[in-house]
Copies of this chain bind each other. A is one copy, B any other.
Amino acid sequence: MTDHVCSAGCNHHSHIGESEKGEFAAGKEKVFSYIGKGSLKAAANSRDIRSLIQNNFEESKHYYIPAHADTVHWGFFSYKQKPLLTVKSGDFATIETLTHHSGDDYERMIKGDPGAESVFHWTKEQKNVDRRGAGPADSPIGNGGGLGAHICTGPVYIEGAEPGDVLEVRILDVAQRPSFNPEFAGKAFGSNAAANWGFQYNDYLSGVPREVVTIYELDAFEQRNWAEAVYNFKWTPQTDPFGVVHPTIDYPGVVVDHNTVQKNFDVLKGIRVPVRPHFGTIGVAPKEDEYVSSIPPNYNGGNIDNWRIGKGATMFFPVSVDGALFSVGDPHASQGDSELCGTAIECSLTGQFQFILHKAKDLPQTKLEKLQSPLLETKDEWVVHGFSYPNYLADLGANAQAEVFQKSSVDLAMRDAYRKTREFLMTTKGLNEDEAISLMSIGVDFGITQVVDGNWGIHAIIKKAMFPA
Chain A: residues with CB nearer than 8 A to chain B? 192, 194, 198-200, 203-205, 212, 214, 216, 227, 229, 232, 267-268, 270-274, 334-345, 409-411, 414-415, 418-419, 422, 431, 433-435, 437-448, 451, 458, 463, 465-469
Q: Are A273 and B437 in contact (CB under 8 A)?
A: no
CB within 8 Å for A441 and B339 given contacts A232-B434, A272-B466? yes
Task: Give the distance in Å from the alpha carbon of A343 to the alpha carbon of B441 in the complex.
Answer: 7
CB-defined A-B contacts under 8 Å, sample of 23:
A192-B441, A194-B437, A203-B415, A232-B435, A232-B438, A267-B435, A268-B439, A271-B467, A272-B465, A273-B439, A334-B442, A335-B442, A336-B440, A336-B442, A338-B414, A338-B440, A338-B445, A340-B437, A341-B437, A343-B441, A410-B414, A411-B411, A414-B451
- With A192-B442, A336-B446 given, name 17 new contacts (CB 8 A): A192-B441, A194-B438, A198-B437, A203-B418, A270-B469, A272-B466, A274-B466, A336-B442, A337-B447, A338-B414, A341-B440, A344-B441, A345-B442, A410-B410, A414-B451, A445-B447, A448-B448
Q: How far is the CB of A85 from the nearest CB of chain B, in Å? A: 34
Copies in the complex: 2
Going nearest first, the 10 A-B pairs with the smallest beta carbon separation are A341-B441, A337-B445, A338-B446, A446-B448, A447-B447, A340-B441, A410-B410, A336-B444, A270-B469, A273-B443
Interface centre among A335, A338, A442, A445 (most CB of B within 10 A): A442
Q: How far is the CB of A412 from the nearest CB of chain B, in Å? A: 9
The answer, among B273, B434, B467, for a CB contact under 8 Å with A194, is B434
Task: Give the distance in Å from the alpha carbon of A198 to the alpha carbon of B205 in the complex.
Answer: 35
Q: Are A204 and B433 in contact (CB under 8 A)?
A: yes
Task: Give the distance in Å from the alpha carbon of A447 to the alpha carbon of B334 in the complex.
Answer: 17
List residues of chain B with CB within 8 A of the CB of A205.
Answer: 433
Q: Are B447 and A446 in contact (CB under 8 A)?
A: yes
Q: Which residue of B lies closest to A441 (CB)?
A: B341
Q: Are B272 and A438 in contact (CB under 8 A)?
A: no
Q: Are A458 and B448 in contact (CB under 8 A)?
A: yes
Task: Give the distance in Å from the alpha carbon of A415 to the alpha carbon of B431 in the complex.
Answer: 35
Q: Are B468 and A272 in contact (CB under 8 A)?
A: yes
List residues of chain B with CB within 8 A of the CB of A198.
Answer: 437, 441
